[in-house]
Amino acid sequence: MKKDNSDAPKKEIKINKNSKAEILKRAPEEVIAKAIHEALLKEHEKK
């Protein structure tokens, strides 16, 4: 059970990284959320 749970998110992350174009077409909200998240991380690094 633990192996299945840990493998699933890793596969999803790989798919997301490899198919940015598909994400842009399918889920613009996810792209916006990711952009906001990256911006927040950059602000946090400055502090």
The number of CA neighbours under 13 Å toward the Cβ of 11 is 6
For the chain, what is the domain count? 1
Q: Which domain holds residue 28?
A: 2-46
Query: Could you tell me the pTM of the whole model?
Result: 0.37
What H or E segment, with its residue span, contains residue 4?
Answer: helix 2-18
1-46: per-residue pLDDT in tens? 455 455 555 555 555 565 666 655 666 787 788 888 999 998 888 7
Is the distance from CB of 24 to CB of 31 less than 8 angstroms? yes
For 19, list phi and psi in degrees, rounded to 5.
-125, 55
